[in-house]
């Protein structure tokens, strides 16, 4: 039985958010209602740095985000920790956010245990962000614990200090790896092309690419099709399902910090050789099922994650999500269980 943990990165765009409620609150509400309709759980990875910065600036939208997170937990869903540290250094002028790219990776803050300022220590930031979620959500669920983490932009590497800090703080599960993923961009560079297949543990002072049978931190990657399967499927999608393929994504121009100045070779690698991930973002349900079928009954996989970003949802995506959840519940009930992270670890 594969534990499939459906997740949504709960975050705003990094540049313009002309109507934050329409961009984040409304699509997340529709997503939660679909899962509640089938009595299934979903996990929101809350971008805590965004919320904290909005509160600092006196923006009431932060309280709307908090209310939605509380409501999600009250309805049986889950909220876990997602960190984009550059929000803490963001300025808002003329309706647009501006960021310093050097703070995109938490590693650039260091992990000084003696420092308490969240802008000067990644350890202090993680500690306070975890405490923030637990203070917020134990009000509605006294048993709530922040146990899982996803790094913003897949930026878990270099990982030794990062993962040591997470495990010291009582976070037991990481979901920052997209199986087979790689980026050569300076801002969010990562390389997961040779991580172990399946779920595995981290041990202190051992790299993310080395499989361990036990440890303090357990990896639940986002799964997908890697080359050449992703390229075959990608071409199939573009050639045979063009009508559906263009109705799901909005505002993608605001998704990254700064202008896209990738060299042509980087664009080709990113588009054709990166994994085709399990996601609700711009993907029809048949393709997600095709991906899942390649992971069912694989002994190395006891848990896997699906990723999504409600901020980019358009109307066409909700029926695809509904059909996917219904199909998994009805057709895959003996092979897939929609779960939360507290059911992920198999020792």
pLDDT in tens, 48-72: 999 999 999 999 999 999 999 999 9
pLDDT score recorded for residue 258: 39
pLDDT score recorded for residue 231: 58
Identify the CA nearest to 106 among candidates 82, 80, 88, 84: 84
pLDDT score recorded for residue 255: 40
- Percentage of the residues of the chain whose pLDDT score is greater than 70: 81
Identify the CA nearest to 50 among candidates 89, 94, 103: 89
- Are the beta carbons of 342 and 147 closer than 8 angstroms? yes
More confidently predicted of 189 and 68: 68
pLDDT score recorded for residue 205: 57
More confidently predicted of 231 and 45: 45
pLDDT score recorded for residue 246: 47
Taking only the tens place, the pLDDT of each residue in 69-97 is 999 999 999 999 999 999 999 999 888 89
Phi-psi region of 46 (alpha: psi -120 to 50; beta: other; left: phi over 0): beta
Q: How many other CB atoms are there within 10 angstroms of residue 261's CB atom?
A: 7
More confidently predicted of 250 and 75: 75
Helices 122-137/61-74 angle, 10° precision: 60
Coil/strand/helix, residue 123: helix
In sequence order, what DSSP letters do the residues of 218-230 get, joined into one string?
Answer: EE-PBPEEPTTHH
- Are the beta carbons of 102 and 108 closer than 8 angstroms? yes
Pairing of strands 91-93, 96-98: antiparallel
Euclidean distance between CA atoms 76 and 36, whole angstroms: 8
Domain that holds residue 61: 2-343
Region of poorest pLDDT, from 96-110, 234-248, 311-325: 234-248
| Mean pLDDT rounded to a whole number for the chain | 85
Terminal-residue alpha carbon distance, the chain: 15
pLDDT score recorded for residue 221: 93
Per-residue pLDDT for 252 more than 50?
A: no
pLDDT score recorded for residue 257: 39
pLDDT score recorded for residue 124: 98
Taking only the tens place, the pLDDT of each residue in 220-233 is 999 887 756 555 65
pLDDT score recorded for residue 259: 42
Helices (H), the chain: 20, 26-37, 48-56, 61-74, 122-137, 160-168, 229-240, 264-272, 285-293, 316-331
Domain of 130: which CATH number? 3.20.20.510
pLDDT score recorded for residue 188: 84
- Percentage of the residues of the chain whose pLDDT score is greater than 90: 58
Q: What are phi and psi of 25, to 5 degrees?
A: -65, -50
Q: Please list the residues that pair with 123 across neighbouring strands.
A: none
Rank 133-147, 173-187, 250-264 by mean pLDDT and report only the highest. 133-147
pLDDT score recorded for residue 63: 97
Instruction: Work out the pLDDT band at 295, boundaries 50, 70, 90.
Output: confident
- Are the beta carbons of 180 and 216 closer than 8 angstroms? no
Element holding 337 (H helix, E strand): strand 336-338
- How far CA 164 is from CA of 100, 195, 210, 222, in Å, comes to 26, 18, 15, 21
Q: How many domains does the chain have?
A: 1
- Are the beta carbons of 62 and 98 closer than 8 angstroms? no
Judged on CB neighbours under 10 Å (0-12, 13-18, 19+), 187 is middle
pLDDT score recorded for residue 213: 60
Euclidean distance between CA atoms 21 and 19, whole angstroms: 6
Euclidean distance between CA atoms 101 and 65, whole angstroms: 25
- Are the beta carbons of 136 and 68 closer than 8 angstroms? no
Taking only the tens place, the pLDDT of each residue in 28-40 is 999 999 999 999 9
Mean predicted confidence (pLDDT) in 138-145: 96
Per-residue pLDDT for 260 more than 70?
A: no
């Amino acid at each position: 039985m594969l534990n499939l943990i459906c997740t949504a990165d709960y975050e705003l765009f990094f540049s313009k958010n002309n109507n934050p409620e329409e961009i984040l609150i409304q699509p997340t509400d529709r997503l939660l209602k679909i899962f509640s309709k089938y009595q299934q759980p979903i996990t929101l990875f809350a971008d805590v740095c965004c919320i904290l910065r909005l509160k600092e600036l006196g923006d009431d939208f932060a309280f709307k985000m908090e209310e939605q997170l509380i409501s999600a937990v009250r309805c049986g869903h889950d909220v876990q920790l997602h960190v984009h540290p550059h929000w803490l250094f963001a300025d808002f002028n003329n309706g647009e956010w501006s960021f310093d790219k050097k703070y995109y990776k938490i590693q650039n803050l260091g992990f000084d245990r003696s420092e308490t300022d969240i802008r000067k220590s990644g350890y202090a930031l993680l500690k306070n962000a975890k405490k923030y979620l637990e203070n917020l959500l134990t009000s509605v669920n006294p048993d709530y614990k922040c146990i899982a983490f996803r790094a913003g932009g897949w930026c878990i590497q270099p990982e030794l200090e990062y993962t040591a800090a997470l495990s010291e703080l009582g976070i037991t599960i990481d979901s920052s790896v997209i199986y087979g993923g790689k980026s050569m961009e300076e801002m969010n560079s990562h390389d997961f092309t040779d991580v172990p297949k399946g779920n595995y543990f981290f041990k202190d002072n051992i790299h993310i690419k080395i499989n361990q049978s036990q440890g303090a931190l357990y990896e639940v990657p986002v799964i997908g099709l890697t080359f050449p399967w992703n390229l075959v499927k990608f071409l199939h999608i573009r050639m045979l399902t063009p009508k559906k393929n263009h109705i799901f994504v909005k505002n993608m121009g605001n998704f990254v910090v700064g202008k896209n100045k990738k060299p042509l070779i980087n664009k080709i690698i990113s588009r054709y050789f990166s994994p085709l991930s399990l996601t609700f973002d711009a993907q029809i349900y048949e393709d997600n099922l095709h991906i899942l079928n390649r992971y069912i009954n694989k002994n190395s996989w006891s848990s896997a994650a699906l990723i999504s970003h409600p901020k980019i949802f358009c109307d066409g995506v909700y029926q695809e999500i509904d059909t996917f959840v219904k199909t998994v519940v009805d057709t895959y009930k003996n092979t897939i269980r929609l779960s939360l992270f507290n059911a992920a670890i198999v020792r």
